[in-house]
Amino acid sequence: MKLLFVADPLSTFKTYKDTTFAMMREAASRGHTLLACEPQHVMWQRGGRVTAQVHAFTLTGDAHDWFALATPETQPMALADLDAVIMRKDPPFDTEYFYATHLLGQAEREGAKVFNSPAALRNHPEKLAILEFPEFIGPTLVTRSEADIKRFHAEHQDIILKPLDGMGGMGIFRVGPDGLNLGSITETLNKGGAETVMVQKYLTEIVKGDKRVLVIGGKPVPHSLARIPQGSEIRGNLAVGGKGVARPLSPRDREIAEHIGPILAARGLLLVGLDVIGDCLTEINVTSPTGFQEITNQTGFDVAKMFVDALEAALAS
C-alpha cells in the first residue's frame, strides 16, 4: 500500500523516540510504500483533486541518515489515489493546521482515506474535548473571566491554569493557597479577557506521573507512559524534562479508555492519547499522540504493530 505521512520535515525527526518514525518503520517492514509531505505541500484547484507534492523514501537503518529519498524532486500525487493519508503534523493547532484539515476533508470527499479524520481533528480540541466526559474529570473551569478564576481559586485553593492552544506543557501555571501572582498570571493567559483559559484543581497525584494512555482503533494499549515531573518542575511533559516510565494500566485508566475509546474511534479517531492524572482525565490528544517507542522499549509491547494492524483493518473495512 501507498501511505502518505503529512508531518513535519523528515530531517527534524528524532528517530530514537519519534512515534511517527515508529509507524513508518513498522509499515515499511510489511512492504508498504512510504511517502511524505508537509501541510504546505497540499493544494486544490477547481477542476482537479486535492494533491500534494510528495517525496517517496525508504528507511536506511542508519540512526542519523535514516531516510533516503527516491528522487531529489517531489512528485504531485492526488491524495485519493493513495491507500491512506496519515495526518501527523505536530501542534500547534493554529489557523494553518485548521485549513489543512479542510483540504484533507475535501480529499476525503474525493475518496481519500485520512487518519485521524480531519473533521474529528477539528471537533476535538485537545483541552476542551474532555468537557464531553465530565464523569471522568476533576474540578475544571473554562472561562475568559478573571472573576470566575478568582472564585474557582477561592473554592479549590491550589489550581492549574493553562492556555487552550498550548502544547508540550507550554504556558502552564500553578497557583497555591496564597494566591500569589494569580492576577498577573490570569492577565497573561486571558489577554485581559480576550482569550479563554482552562483552570483545573491541582491534582497531587501528578508527582506519580501524568499518564499518557494510548487508544488505537478504540482499544487501549495495555501500558501507559507516566510522565513524571523532575526537580521543582510541576509539569511532567517529556518536552520539559519529565521522565517517562511505562506502567500497566490501572483499573481506572482502563475504565476511562474503554468508555471513551470506542466513541472516538467511531468518529474517525484511529489514534488517541488520553492524559490521566491519578483517577482524572485531563486532556484528549488527537493531533499527533506520542509515546510508542518509550512504551515498546520498556515493556516489549509493540505499539507500532498494534497501530499498523488497526490501520490495515480500517482500510480493509
pLDDT (tens place) for every residue of the chain, 317 residues total:
999 999 999 999 999 999 999 999 999 999 999 999 999 999 999 999 999 999 999 999 998 899 999 999 999 999 999 999 999 999 888 999 999 999 999 999 999 999 999 999 999 999 999 999 999 999 999 999 999 999 999 999 999 999 998 877 788 999 999 999 999 999 999 999 999 999 999 999 999 999 999 999 999 999 999 999 887 777 777 776 788 999 999 999 999 999 999 999 999 999 999 999 999 999 999 999 999 999 999 999 999 999 999 999 999 98
Which residue is catalytic, options 113, 127, 201, 211? Answer: 127
Of the residues 187, 202, 217, which one is the last residue of a structural domain? 202
Of the residues 202, 236, 257, which one is the last residue of a structural domain? 202
- CATH number for the domain that contains residue 217: 3.30.470.20
- Retrieve residue 285's grid coordinates: 490528544
Q: Say how many domains are in the chain.
A: 3
Instruction: Answer yes or no: 127 catalytic.
Output: yes
Residue 271 contacts residue 213 (beta carbons within 8 Å): no
- CATH number for the domain that contains residue 95: 3.40.50.20
Same domain? 247 vs 197 = no
Please check whether residue 311 lies inside any domain of the structure. Answer: no
The predicted pLDDT at position 8 comes to: 97
Which residue is catalytic, options 89, 227, 237, 294? Answer: 227
Instruction: Answer yes or no: 267 catalytic.
Output: no
Instruction: Answer yes or no: 212 catalytic.
Output: yes
Please check whether residue 131 lies inside any domain of the structure. Answer: no
Instruction: Look up the domain containing 210 and give its range.
Output: 205-306
Same domain? 158 vs 238 = no
Which residue is catalytic, options 116, 126, 212, 237? Answer: 212
Please check whether residue 312 lies inside any domain of the structure. Answer: no
Same domain? 186 vs 209 = no
Instruction: Answer yes or no: 191 catalytic.
Output: no
Instruction: Answer yes or no: 283 catalytic.
Output: yes
Instruction: Answer yes or no: 144 catalytic.
Output: no
The predicted pLDDT at position 246 comes to: 98
Q: Which of 115, 109, 99 is nearest to 43 (CA)?
A: 99
Of the residues 157, 182, 202, which one is the last residue of a structural domain? 202
Which residue is catalytic, options 26, 38, 253, 275? Answer: 275
Same domain? 240 vs 300 = yes
- Indicate the pTM of the whole model: 0.95
The predicted pLDDT at position 79 comes to: 98
The predicted pLDDT at position 317 comes to: 87
Instruction: Answer yes or no: 162 catalytic.
Output: yes
The predicted pLDDT at position 264 comes to: 98
140-143: strand order across its sheet: 140-143, 197-201, 159-163, 173-175
DSSP-assigned beta bridge partners for residue 231: none
Which residue is catalytic, options 89, 162, 201, 211? Answer: 162
Same domain? 198 vs 221 = no
Residue 31, Cβ density class (10 Å: 0-12 exposed, 13-18 middle, ≥19 buried): exposed
Instruction: Answer yes or no: 305 catalytic.
Output: no
Which residue is catalytic, options 235, 237, 253, 294? Answer: 235
